[in-house]
Structures are given as C-alpha cells and as structure tokens.
Amino acid sequence: MSTQLEQTDDETESEAEAAAESPGQRRRREKADRQFGEREAEPEPDLGEDAVLLKVFRYDPEVEGKQEPRFDEFRVPFTKGMTALDALIAARDTYDSSLTFRHSCRQAVCGSDALFINGRQRLACQTQIAELDGDAVRIEPLPHQEVVKDLVVDMEHFYDQMEAVEPYFQTDETPEGELEEQFQTPENREKIKMSTRCIWCGACMSSCNIAANENEYLGPAAINKAYRFAMDDREGESMKEHRLELIEQENGVWRCQTQFSCTEVCPKDIPLTEHIQELKREAVKSNLKFW
C-alpha cells in the first residue's frame, strides 16, 4: 500500500513540474528527448571499404578514471580530401563528444590546431590523411608542452616568449603630414616577407630540443618575430639596436644550435634558422661597430 502511495506522489510531482514548464521549455525538452532517442537507435556508421584508424591521445586530469594518459582508437569513414582535423571532428561527433582539441579557421591561418601527427608537428587542417604513411594515424598533443586535456596544451609560456620581444611596430620617426603614409621599399618588404607569415602555432617551439631543455630560451617563433621588426627599415636604427639587445641575451639567439628542426616543421615554410643566423651576424656587427 505504501509503495502505491509513493508512486502516486511521484506521478503527481512529475505532472506538477510539467505544468510549470513554459511552452518553450516543453518544446526544447521534447526535442531533446526525440534527439536522444534517435541517437540511441542509430546503427553503427557504414564505414565502407575505406576507413581511417585513428589512435588519439587521451588525458583528463579532472575526471577520475581518465587521469592516466592512454590512446583511444576510432575508425571513421574516409572521404577524398579528408584532413586529420576532419577525421578528429568525425570521431568526436560520431563516437565521443568529450574528445577535446583546438581548431578554428580550418584554412591554416589561425594556427590553433598544431598537433603531433605520426611523429611530426603539423597543422591538423593542413594534413591530408591520404598522404600519411602507415595503417593508422597517431595523433598526440605538441611535445614539450603541458597537456591541459586530450590534445590541448597550455600555450601561456609560448605567448610569454613571444611578448618578450615586443612583437609590434615601433618607429623612431613618423611622417610630418597627418595622413602621410610611412613608405617601405619593395626590397625591404621582400626581405621580411616570409617572417610576417608566422601564425603563432607553436610547432617550431615544440620541435626545438633547446627550447625543451631550456625553459628560458626565447625560441624560434619569438626570434623570428624579432627579425620581422628588426629588419624593417621603417623602425629606424635606434629601435633596431633595442631589438638586437632583446634577442642577443644569454637565452636569445646564441642558444640556437642550428638544428633546422624548426624550419622543417614550420607549416608556413618560414626559414626560421636562417633568420636566427642573420640576427646573430647583425648582433656581432652592432657590437663591433665596424659597419
């Protein structure tokens, strides 16, 4: 008898809660119930003859049972032109919505989806699955960075190093006319053109063994940014001297051991090592005062 009373009370409470819902809340609840039911009833996706096997690094320090790093496997259908980012999105949307990674523009411009794919730093949106070797695609977060969750790493230190070189235009003199432009010669523009392509993805920093062992090293991305402004004739000689002082310190250009690893992984093909070596020469010339 008491059980029947409890059931009646529960039904009455449910009816009262339903009556208290606004029409909008009721529609949203019913839609969610339908979607959930449909999702539960969905069959396994048809992978066809071609499928991509992903081995994805997983780690979540805030969830018990996921605090130990591991690799999860996902099989997603292959489509022509599929990128590593496409495959990750398919795995997240089809199998595990908790799979976490960064992405934004999907056009190799934002730099947010730099990952360690098949043993190399790459942009996921730029990496064609069809061009990767092996039976599986192994995807990990960038090495030498603290992992926040799954494929997301903490970029704060990288940004601090970039800010240390004052990555913004500073000029000694401005044109007299209020609306007059500050012209740059075509030759000077051509000289710094490649250095302006940096998208702050952090791939070069992750590949650098010196940056991995020396936390204070500015790193190739920051030094390249210093190059972009130090070699810009519009800033003037005094600002160039200032920038050279910033990058010729103990943890600046002289820590580079010319391994070319940063140049090899740069998704924008910036000759990072060459820029570092040129800044070394400029620093020596500045100190000797023979030029």
What's the pLDDT band for 7 if we cut at 50, 70, 90?
Answer: very low
What's the pLDDT band for 29 if we cut at 50, 70, 90?
Answer: low
pLDDT on residue 1: 45
Among 2-16, 105-119, 134-148, 180-194, where is mean pLDDT lowest?
2-16
| Eight-state DSSP code of residue 240 | H
Coil, helix or strand at residue 265: helix
Q: What is the DSSP string of 193-231?
A: TGGGG-----HHHHH-HHHHH-TT---HHHHHHHHHHHT
pLDDT on residue 180: 83
The model's pLDDT over 189-213, given as tens digits with 9 standing for 90+, comes to: 999 999 999 999 999 999 999 998 8
Average pLDDT over residues 15-43: 55
Average pLDDT over residues 46-50: 60
pLDDT on residue 152: 97
What's the pLDDT band for 33 if we cut at 50, 70, 90?
Answer: low
The model's pLDDT over 96-142, given as tens digits with 9 standing for 90+, comes to: 999 999 999 999 999 999 999 999 999 999 999 999 998 999 999 99
At residue 279, what is the residue type?
L
Q: Which two tokens stand for residue 47?
A: 């992978």
Average pLDDT over residues 16-39: 57
Catalogue all structural domains in the chain, each as residue range(s) with its CATH number: 51-153 (3.10.20.30), 156-173+181-288 (1.10.1060.10)
